[in-house]
């Protein structure tokens, strides 16, 4: 049985709170953009860090998501590389600068 998170998601994706408008599939949707720097294993002694841009969106806003599709965030175009539908109505999308 799905969790009743619809009103919670609406609050989280509120443009005046956490979210911003992005362009996906020719339209505008609300998303939370995060671009943290994460350590990666480069096989050496020095630790290497890399940006990992990602979006958090409502699953209903990305019903036919596909790898390589373009997303524009703050004027920067990214390609979708991976995504996870978490089963609660939220999808996390991993991005790469195009």
Q: Does the residue 80 lie in any domain?
A: yes
pLDDT at 31: 95
Instruction: Name every residue whose Cβ is closer than 8 Å to that of residue 78 and which is 6 or more positions away in sequence.
Output: 53, 70, 71, 72, 95, 96, 97, 98
Q: What are phi and psi of 96, to 5 degrees?
A: -140, 135
Domains contained in the chain, number: 1
Q: Does the residue 12 lie in any domain?
A: yes
Q: Does the residue 64 lie in any domain?
A: yes
Tens of pLDDT, residues 9-36:
777 777 777 899 999 988 999 999 999 8
Q: Does the residue 28 lie in any domain?
A: yes
Q: How far is CA 75 from CA 31, 60, 78, in A?
A: 14, 24, 10
**Residue 15 lies in domain:** 6-97
Q: Does the residue 19 lie in any domain?
A: yes
Q: Does the residue 68 lie in any domain?
A: yes
Q: How far is CA 92 from CA 16, 32, 41, 80, in A?
A: 20, 9, 23, 11
Could you tell me the pTM of the whole model?
A: 0.81
Q: Does the residue 1 lie in any domain?
A: no
């Amino acid at each position: 049985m799905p969790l009743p998170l619809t009103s919670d998601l609406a609050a989280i994706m509120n443009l005046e709170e956490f979210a911003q408008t992005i362009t996906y599939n020719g339209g505008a949707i609300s998303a939370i953009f995060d671009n943290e720097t994460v350590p990666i294993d480069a096989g050496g002694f020095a630790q290497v860090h890399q940006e990992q841009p990602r979006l958090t969106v409502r699953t209903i806003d990305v019903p036919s998501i596909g790898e390589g599709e373009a997303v524009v965030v703050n004027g920067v175009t990214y390609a979708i590389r991976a995504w996870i539908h978490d089963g609660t109505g939220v999808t996390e999308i991993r991005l790469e600068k195009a």
